[in-house]
Structures are given as C-alpha cells and as structure tokens.
Amino acid sequence: MRITVLMGGTSAERDVSLASGLRVAGALRAGGHTVTAVDTARGVLEAGDEAAMLSGRVVKTIPPNVEAMALLNRKLPASLSQLPDTDVVFLALHGGTGEDGTIQALLDLTGVPYTGSGHLASALAMDKDLSKHLFRRAGVPTADWMMAPATVEEVADTLGFPVIVKPSKQGSTVGLSLVRDPALLEGAITEAFRYDDEVMIEAFVPGRELTVGILGGVALPVGEIIPMKELYDYECKYTPGMAREIFPAELTGEQTTHVQHLAKLAFAALKLGGCARIDFRMTSGGEFFCLEANTLPGMTELSLIPQAAVAAGISFPALCEQIAQLALSSRKSG
C-alpha cells in the first residue's frame, strides 16, 4: 500500500507525535509498504530529516503559538493535495487539531481513508467534559467533576479535596495538576488555562491505574501502570524507568471481563473507530472509574497500546498493518 503518515504538528504533544510517527513509518516500510512521512507543521520529511529526529528523544514542548499555527495552515493544505495518490493516511498526531476532529474533517473531504475515529467521535473524545456526560449515559462510571472558573469553596462543597485540574481538551497529561492544598487551586487552574480555553476540575480517585486498548472493536489485554510518582504524568509516560507497565494486569477474571466491557461501552458511546485506548482507575474496593478515551494513542517504544498488542500476540509491525487495514475496511463499509 501507499501510506502517508501524518505526525508532528504544533500541539503541546508534538514531540510525542514525532516519536510515534517515525516508529510507525519504519514498521510499515519494513512490511513492504511505500511510506511518506509528513510533519503537518513542516511538510514532507526527507530521509535525512527522519534520521535526525530519530536521534533525539521525546521532550516536552511549549504550547503552539500564533506563528506555529500559521505555518500549519500553510503547510497542511499542500500536504492534503497530495493525498489522492495515497491509499491510507496513518494518523500519528496527538492533541490539538490532529486529534480534535479538525484534520479528520479535512481528510473526509479528500475521500482518502484514515486511521482512528471520524471527525465527530474525535471531537467528542477530545472534549473531556462532553465525554464524561456520554460515559454516564452509557452506564460507564466516571468521577464527579465541574468546569472552571470555580472558587475554592465551590470545589470543596461539590467535590472535596484533593482534585485533579486539567485542560479539558488536551492529552498526555499536559497541564495536569493534583491539588491537595486548596490554596494551590487557583495556580493549577491558571496553569491548565495555558493549554486550553476550558479547564476541568475533577474529584481525585485514588487507586490502581488501568488501561484497555480497543482494536477493531475487540478489547486487548488489560494493562496496569505503576508510576514512580503518585500520578502517571508526562514525565512518567515518556521517561524510561519512570513507570512500570504490566500486561496483562493482575486482576481476577471477573474484574478483567468487567473493565473490558466498560471500555467497549465507552468506545461505543463516543462512536470511536479503529484503535483507541480507554483509561481507568480502580479503587481499593474494586470499583472502576473511566478517566478518558484516547482516539490516537501513542505508538512510541514506551506507549501502552503496543505493549497491549504484544500481550495479545500482535507484533508492532502487525499492529500498524492491522490499524491501516481497519481504515481501509471502514471506508469501504461506509
């Protein structure tokens, strides 16, 4: 197949996206496909560009600025004009316009199949406030929450402390804070507003961190994440040795079946497609609370979906192949 891998972009998760995209491109080439790598903020990447990026490592970047967004607007249409010669677009974008349905809507206009969910589902999953409403309607438990602005008194009365403060439409825990001291609430909200125009304040659910990958409607083995810090934050996600992942998670058969069922309910509630990841917290009493859905989960060496796939007997190249094939079959059936 002729496959275009879109990566990079200008979101706060740019470096993670590049790490995912370059790894995906390499795996697809190894499978015999003709692959064009495109950084949506720069255009088509030459072999030298890819080699230079592969020599680096995932690091946190600042939020996009006006100049970066203008560059994206100039470069992306030129890239999309080349897509009719592409059989499938593999989306390795994270956050921002790459995961919020914007690029998905543009790709719909080209008629070229692309991986992941459609534009509506992508937008719903990116918006954590809307997602939680839909989770509850589908019978998927999720922690209580409210949206900023909110006073310390309102948060204390409604949710109690501690709380999680996070941008409502970001991923990779960018801009996220755990607030135990009410005096630190305002600062955490200000920090989250650096990354988004909406900020969520959510009741903190102590317990085990679990994740369930969904591939073509089938639940992959449940994984457990044990971070070296209290929260599985950006540093723990993308720094080797900062978290331990266990696949499959040490759960009873009943617990495994139940959380996989909840993950599939969440997947359906948001109208997701292709490959996605649903994250949970499990309390000491065995209750599951859905945290969020990721429509374009990371594909780096440390990412969770590739580890879940290996636990299911699916190699990374086979995973990339299956995701691309799901995009083709979805377009044909649609």
281 tagged catalytic: no
Q: Output the CA–CA distances (angstroms, integers) from residue 307 to 21, 90, 100, 206, 247, in the order listed.
A: 17, 19, 25, 24, 7
**97, 104 Cβ separation under 8 angstroms:** no
| Known active-site residue 213 | no
Annotated active-site residue 2? The verdict is no
Task: Tell me if 176 sits within 8 A of 164, measured CB to CB.
Answer: yes
Active site residue 298: yes
Please state whether 175 falls in left (phi above 0), alpha (psi between -120 and 50) or beta. Answer: left
The SS3 of residue 142 is: coil
User: Is residue 292 among the annotated active site residues?
Assistant: yes
d(Cα 198, Cα 208) in Å, to the nearest integer? 27
> Choosing from 100, 175, 238, 330, which is the catalytic residue?
238
DSSP assignment letter at 245 = E
- Which one from 11, 13, 23, 196 is the annotated catalytic residue? 13
Catalytic residue among 233, 298, 303, 330: 298
Cβ neighbours of 57 (radius 10 Å)? 11
Active-site pick, 279, 281, 321, 330: 279
Note if 172 is an active site residue.
Answer: yes
**Active site annotation includes 139:** no
| N- to C-terminal Cα separation, the chain | 20
Segment (H or E) for 48: helix 47-54
Residue 165 to residues 83, 149, 185, Cα–Cα distance (Å): 39, 11, 8
Q: Can you spell out the DSSP letters for 67-98?
A: HHHHHHHHHHHHHHTTGGG-SEEEE---SHHH
- Yes or no: say if 203 and 132 are a contact pair by the CB < 8 Å rule: no
User: Edge-to-edge strands of the sheet including 34-39?
Assistant: 43-44, 34-39, 2-7, 88-91
Among the options 224, 245, 292, 321, which is catalytic?
A: 292
Pairing label, strands 163-167, 177-179: antiparallel
Residue 294 falls in the annotated catalytic set: yes
Residues designated catalytic: 13, 172, 238, 277, 279, 292, 294, 298
